Amino acid sequence: MTDPTNREILEELKAINQKLDEVNERAKKPKGLSTPMVIIAIALGFYILGPMLSTLLMLLFDL
């Protein structure tokens, strides 16, 4: 292969490597909960923790 061809291949490989590094960095970032998981967490909070806390408060304050 000629020298210009080798340089062109090297430039292409560098570009591909840089794109892969960018994708890798994005994949490493911590992701939050998805929207359905947030809705499930809120629903569980209302349906499970809410009655437990209200019962505890009623017992503590004799309501």
Nearest to 10 by CA among 34, 2, 63: 2
Report helix, strand or coil for 29.
Answer: coil
- At 1, the pLDDT band (50, 70, 90 cuts) reads low
Asked whether residue 42 carries a pLDDT value surpassing 90, the answer given is yes
Asked whether residue 8 carries a pLDDT value surpassing 90, the answer given is yes
Q: For residue 52, give both structure tokens.
A: 């437990």
* Alpha-carbon span 52 to 45, nearest angstrom: 10
Report helix, strand or coil for 62.
Answer: coil
Asked whether residue 43 carries a pLDDT value surpassing 80, the answer given is yes
